[in-house]
Amino acid sequence: MIVDCNPEFGCELALALPYAYWLHERGELEKVVTTQGMKPFYYFCENVEEKYNHRTIDNNAANMQSLPNPWIYGTQLDAKLFKDDWEHWESFYNAPNGIGILNYEKWKMPNFSEQYKNDKFLFDKPTIVIANRYNWEHGQPPVGYFSLPCLYEMFSYLTNQGYKVIYKRPRNNEFPLDQNEMNTVNNRENLVAEVEGGGFISDYDLTTHFEDVILLDDVVSNNPELTYNEVQLSLFANADKFIGISGGSTLVLNLFQKPTITYLYNKSDLREKFWEDENGNKNIKNYYYMMNPNVIPYIDVECEDMRQNKIDNFLNLVKETIK
């Protein structure tokens, strides 16, 4: 079998990658055709063609119909697949929209922590990765992101607790882009905030104010023999815990199956029962949990709290989880 598609980054990690690995374990994977730079994610396949120089949010154009799970939210009826081994399946059955439950019969995650564990990227302190993003989404300006006030509070707390922090926010020049990322580049979006008495500062600038905060870009620059993805996978394999914004930024962290605080801002119509039902039962069959049982979700519909700087509850979760 050949796995051939070029969807959004998160869709590829959650849908194409585990299918390819499932085929590999059965001895049925002939080849993977993917976007440029993605070969390190398919380390288990000897025949990887990095064909595409772009991604697309159009699932049909990305050839997602060739996969067992063509849509990342699954179907309304997928919960019924687990009626024999999940006591709460009926509560999530026939939900109004897909709620992230997939058919996992041809789906298995590789062990990235074991594959990429190394002695090269080690630090003198335990390491926390914070993965951010600042992109247009479906024709609209950026909505979901960690703001500078939130980043400042996280950097301050984590470094004071004795952690080394690796901060990642792609500049959208590291890999092939989809339409959302291209819109971000075309509109020259940058994550900045005004500091009293100091003018405007970016999140990249903010990292320089903390001795124990490392910008992922700098690690990449200092290791020119490695690709961007080789660096991040090697760094993340050695990290202790993660904090990420939802989407591909968090799904790449989930590959390592470590405690991962995930800030979620899904629209309410797609969020219904995505994480739990009206009785508080967790949707443990959505792809986030299936990729990483150690996910710790924090839900902020439309990212309103973050944009209004109402971040105390989220910061409390960070402090309760990472001490």
pLDDT digits 0-9 by tens, 46-81: 999 999 999 999 999 999 999 999 999 998 889 999
Residue 285 lies in a domain: no
Q: Is residue 288 part of a domain?
A: no
Residue 279 falls within a domain, yes or no?
no
Residues 25 and 171 in one domain: no
Average pLDDT for 180-184: 83
pLDDT of residue 153: 96
Higher per-residue pLDDT: 199 or 320? 320
Within a domain: 94:
yes
Q: Amino acid letter at 290?
A: M
| Same-domain status, 83 and 198 | no
**Do the Cβ atoms of 150 and 263 come closer than 8 Å?**
no
Mean pLDDT in residue range 80-105:
91
Tell me the two tokens of residue 175.
């890999």
Is residue 191 located within the same domain as residue 78? no
* Helix then strand then coil, % of the chain, to nearest 5: 35, 15, 45
Same domain, 59 and 126: no
Q: Which of 293, 288, 257, 317 is nearest to 74 (CA)?
A: 288
Residue 199 sits in the same domain as residue 239: yes
Question: What pLDDT sits at residue 223?
Answer: 97
Q: What is the pLDDT of residue 304?
A: 85
Q: What is the pLDDT of residues 245-281, one digit of tens each?
A: 988 889 999 999 999 999 987 655 445 788 888 888 9
- 169 and 241 in one domain? yes
Task: Choose the final residue of a domain: 48, 79, 113.
Answer: 113
Q: By percentage, how much of the chain surpasses pLDDT 70?
A: 97
Tokens matching residue 185 = 């580049």
Number of folded domains that form the chain: 2
CA distance 222 to 220: 5
Domain range for 35 is 2-113
Residue 275 maps to a domain: no
Please, what sign has the CA dihedral across residues 167, 171, 175, 180? Answer: positive
Dihedral angle sign, alpha carbons of residues 243, 246, 252, 254: positive
- What are residue 33's DSSP bridge partners? 4, 49
